[in-house]
Amino acid sequence: MKFVTTFAGLMLAATAALAQQALVPAQSEIAFVSKQMGVPVEGRFKKFDAQVAFDPAKLATSKVAFTVDMGSASLSKEADAELVKPVWFNTPKFPQASFQSSAIKALGGGKYEVAGKLSIKGNAQDVVVPVTLAQSGANTVATGAFTIKRLAFKIGENEWTDTSMVADDVQIKLKLTLTGVPKL
């Protein structure tokens, strides 16, 4: 009985330590870069949240999830009004995009691969996100970038499926500042 009580106490302590990990929104960003008629155009999502339970010593049980408020996309005043419409993000029907990790792999030197499922506009795709972690004081900064095919998520429908106007490739860039991550 004493073993069970001690084990349960250790599990609660470990869970509490991971639960203290938190996103620092003011020091974080999620951006996207698309090409319109061959010219790179960068936008940002103003509202997002992350749930992180990351321990570099226990990658098998580490998890990363985030949600993005698709209505918070900002590209330009004109584009912002269009992005919420059904042919683009369709935010009335699909207000959030989400990512849920399925595996985290250490590559060495503070570099990781985070595999998981990205869901945008009701369409889910498996993605692998290369991430670099750097710690400074109490903060850990996770940076990474990966490319998606917008048409796989039905972003830009009807006449916007023509990739000569808006390229199919969209780069997603992440900078997530977290507190409470164990020493790398």
DSSP for the chain reads -HHHHHHHHHHHHHHHHHHT-EE-GGG-EEEEEEEETTEEEEEEES-EEEEEE--TT-GGG-EEEEEEEGGGEES-HHHHHHHTSTTTT-TTT--EEEEEEEEEEEEETTEEEEEEEEEETTEEEEEEEEEEEEEETTEEEEEEEEEEEGGGGT-S-GGGG-TTTB-SEEEEEEEEEEESPPP-
The predicted-structure confidence for 127-137, as pLDDT tens digits, reads as follows: 999 999 999 99
User: Domain of 44: which CATH number?
Assistant: 2.40.128.110
- Whether 151 is covered by a domain: the verdict is yes
- Whether 2 is covered by a domain: the verdict is no
Structure confidence at residue 48 (pLDDT):
97
- Whether 126 is covered by a domain: the verdict is yes
- Low pLDDT (below 70) residues in the chain: 1-20
Query: In this structure, what token pair is assigned to residue 37?
Result: 């008629």
Nearest CA among 139, 133, 94, 131 for reference residue 115: 131
- Whether 165 is covered by a domain: the verdict is yes
- Whether 7 is covered by a domain: the verdict is no
| Structural domain boundaries enclosing 113 | 22-179
Structure confidence at residue 5 (pLDDT):
36
- Whether 63 is covered by a domain: the verdict is yes
Structure confidence at residue 20 (pLDDT):
65
- Whether 10 is covered by a domain: the verdict is no
Domains contained in the chain, number: 1
- Whether 139 is covered by a domain: the verdict is yes
